[in-house]
Chain A
Amino acid sequence: MRHALMCLYIFLLLIGCYIPKAHAAPDSQIVIDMANESVDVTTGFSGSHIVVFGSIDTKGQEAAASTGVVILLKGPDSSVIVRKKDEVAGMWLNSDSIEFKNIPHFYDYATSMPEKDMASQQTLTENEIGLNTLMFDTEDRDDREDTQRYRLFQEALIRIWQQEGNLPLAGKQIKFIGNNLFRADFNLPANIPTGLYQVEAFLFEKGKLIDKRERVLEVRQAGLSALINHYAHSYSLLYALIGYAMAIGIGVLSAHLARRR
């Protein structure tokens, strides 16, 4: 038994020595950073601007024309109910609905060249690059069977979220500053959810993914806004009492003003 373990250790050690060697070839690397690591949602929040900086480390060589960069910004996953209004006895009522799950509540991306020139559709799909690679999974499996109906609801969700700014109409353009330094700009609308956002950077060369980096962007309520939200959810009873105090104060003041006249 001990002998077998010993063999395993040696084997692992050999692998450990082998891997770095295999990657010692001068492959390019990508690094990114953000102007801000977090977004503070305060009472004055009306959307935010996210800047992602990055550079390609080409190990001293000239960046090839076939080198492509993609930056993804993805919000927390959510479940969304899409409802369809139909005319029932003259009134427009919600009649049919599909609940989609694991949909990023915000999704935007920037590329240095058209996606289709960057890599194969399969590679793009695996890395969720581009709007058409998002999986629209449904809560109820049966909803996927009628493809025509499914597509109708899926298109509606994309259309409405594009209008609200949660999904892009098309990918943005990455701006290169010099040969290796680049930046990508994103706009977060005011109605975005709080939570952890993922920033992903991909480096493609000749249709192959050669490097990938991930960062986290935290979108959180701050200041008075955070305080109110915290009390509403953690100390509901106290929150209610504050509401009462506020309403009673204003009510008494208003009655007092009315009396003075």
Chain B
Amino acid sequence: MPFSTERHSSFMEIYLPVAEMAVSFEVILGLGVAVGMLSSIFGVGGGFLSTPFLVFLGVPASFAVGTQAVQLISSSLSGVLGHWRKGNVDFKLGSVMLGGSFVGTVLGILIFKLLQYTGQIDVVINALYVLFLGTIGSMMLYESFKAILKKNHTSEPKQSRFWTRVMHGLPYTMTFPRSNLCISVIVPIALGVIGGLMVSVLGIGGGFLLVPAMIYILGMPSSLVVGTSMFQILITTSLSALLHILSNNTVDLLLAFILMVGALIGGQIGVRLTKFIKGAPARLALAIILLSVCFMLWESLFIEPVEHFTTEVVE
């Protein structure tokens, strides 16, 4: 029609049926590919990348976090299967952590609803991301620089002496034969609560926080840590996805599907790239990615916005 003023975009728009909004198909698929590459190269879930980016694209935070919970099922499942085949999952310790994760997830969903009600959800999610990504990113940057400068030093990370002493003083000990540990269940449960909160409030597995904690605080062998944390994430995120669907209806399966297919493709590309990216330089690259996302979110939080007002349609 000659008088038509419709936008002629080079991107294919796709309408998300539950979020009730249109997004660019290529951008969402590309985001999935990036997340898949990150997971296969660095072994991270990639939720820290997709949740903020979805929000950045205009997807409401509630839908970004809810949908991310479904995507996390597929990525953590594929991780668990790989580690399980090699016998690198401590199911007993993972199950104890899950006790805490369930509490954390339910608590997280309630906190989410409360923040939504007060209208601060986006700000809180942003601030927590800045805090986590900034901390982990700078630590990783420091560590990888150190490793690149003195290449000879590669010792196995283990439990710090401080935490050994703390762990000994706690009650309710249990033996975990697979990890060769005899520790109090309180600390794994507490870690589980944190994991559950991160999945349900932030839409991330939280492996980047739990993995070091399980090594330094619990004293687990590092070969078992990733598989076990992925097992805990798998069950936690399954519960979180269910609760997000049943309580808020904030899961868009079409969005989740595109992200998952993208991640599948990205994973295959990533596997072929791992030959070239290894060890300290890889961690340096990841640190830079983490810090860039952190900076992007920091900007939206600390720089005066052009438009001071936002609107939200409630019904």
Question: Cβ of A112 < 8 Å from any Cβ of B?
Answer: no
Q: Is the CB of A250 within 8 A of B13?
A: no
A190 to chain B: closest CB distance in Å? 4
B83 to chain A: closest CB distance in Å? 10
Question: Cβ of B154 < 8 Å from any Cβ of A?
Answer: no
Interface residues of B in 45-79 (CB under 8 A from A): 70-71, 73-79
**Cβ-closest chain A residue relative to B36:** A254
A122 to chain B: closest CB distance in Å? 30
A247 to B241 Cα, complex, angstroms: 11
Q: Is the CB of A83 within 8 A of B77?
A: no
Proximity bits, B123-157, A CB within 8 Å = 1, else 0:
10001000000000000000000000000000000
Q: Is the CB of A240 within 8 A of B245?
A: yes
A250: chain B residues within 8 A (beta carbon): 74, 78, 260-261, 263-264
A12: chain B residues within 8 A (beta carbon): none
A51 to chain B: closest CB distance in Å? 9
**Cβ-closest chain A residue relative to B126:** A91
B311: chain A residues within 8 A (beta carbon): 80-83, 156-157, 160-161
B254: chain A residues within 8 A (beta carbon): 43, 225, 228
Q: Is the CB of B315 within 8 A of A239?
A: no
B312 to chain A: closest CB distance in Å? 5
A238 to B9 Cα, complex, angstroms: 36
Number of A-B contacts (CB under 8 A): 204
Q: Is the CB of A41 within 8 A of B15?
A: yes
A227 to chain B: closest CB distance in Å? 8
Among the 9-residue stretches B18-26, B88-96, B158-166, B216-224, the one with 4 or more Cβ atoms under 8 Å from chain A is B18-26
B197 to chain A: closest CB distance in Å? 21
Contact-size category for A:
35 or more
Q: Is the CB of A91 within 8 A of B82?
A: no
Q: Is the CB of B82 within 8 A of A259?
A: yes
A99: chain B residues within 8 A (beta carbon): 314
- Given A87-B304, A94-B120, A190-B13: A80 and B313 within 8 A (CB)? yes
Question: Cβ of A237 < 8 Å from any Cβ of B?
Answer: yes
Q: Is the CB of A252 within 8 A of B245?
A: no
Question: Cβ of A210 < 8 Å from any Cβ of B?
Answer: no
B9: chain A residues within 8 A (beta carbon): 46
Question: Cβ of B251 < 8 Å from any Cβ of A?
Answer: yes
Among A41, A191, A251, contact of B77 (Cβ-Cβ < 8 Å) = A251
Question: Cβ of B271 < 8 Å from any Cβ of A?
Answer: yes
Contact-size category for B:
35 or more
Question: Cβ of A233 < 8 Å from any Cβ of B?
Answer: yes
A47 to B14 Cα, complex, angstroms: 11
Question: Cβ of A92 < 8 Å from any Cβ of B?
Answer: yes
Q: Is the CB of A44 within 8 A of B13?
A: yes
A252 to B129 Cα, complex, angstroms: 30
Question: Cβ of A187 < 8 Å from any Cβ of B?
Answer: yes
Question: Cβ of A90 < 8 Å from any Cβ of B?
Answer: yes
Q: Is the CB of B260 within 8 A of A246?
A: yes
A81: chain B residues within 8 A (beta carbon): 119, 311-312, 314
Among B40, B245, B256, contact of A247 (Cβ-Cβ < 8 Å) = B256
A253: chain B residues within 8 A (beta carbon): 264
Q: Is the CB of B15 within 8 A of A44?
A: yes
Q: Is the CB of A255 within 8 A of B82?
A: yes
Proximity bits, B1-28, A CB within 8 Å = 1, else 0:
1011111010011110110111000000
A140 to chain B: closest CB distance in Å? 13
A90: chain B residues within 8 A (beta carbon): 302
Q: Is the CB of A232 within 8 A of B249?
A: yes
Among B7, B78, B82, B251, find the residue whose CB has the most chain A CB atoms closer than 10 A. Answer: B78
A47 to B153 Cα, complex, angstroms: 59
Interface residues of B in 239-258 (CB under 8 A from A): 241-242, 245-246, 249, 251-254, 256-257
Question: Cβ of A242 < 8 Å from any Cβ of B?
Answer: yes
B267: chain A residues within 8 A (beta carbon): 254, 257-258
A247: chain B residues within 8 A (beta carbon): 70-71, 73-74, 77, 241, 256, 260
Question: Cβ of A221 < 8 Å from any Cβ of B?
Answer: yes
A248: chain B residues within 8 A (beta carbon): 73-74, 77
Q: Is the CB of B123 within 8 A of A94?
A: yes
Interface residues of B in 268-286 (CB under 8 A from A): 268, 271
A204 to B227 Cα, complex, angstroms: 74
Among B18, B76, B119, contact of A232 (Cβ-Cβ < 8 Å) = B18
A125 to chain B: closest CB distance in Å? 24
A46 to B13 Cα, complex, angstroms: 6
Question: Cβ of A236 < 8 Å from any Cβ of B?
Answer: yes
Q: Is the CB of B310 within 8 A of A94?
A: yes
B1: chain A residues within 8 A (beta carbon): 49
- The 5 closest A-B CB pairs, nearest first, are A251-B77, A190-B22, A156-B309, A247-B73, A46-B13
Could you list 9 A-B pairs, sorted by A, with CB under 8 Å? Answer: A80-B312, A84-B308, A87-B304, A90-B302, A91-B301, A156-B311, A161-B311, A246-B257, A247-B77
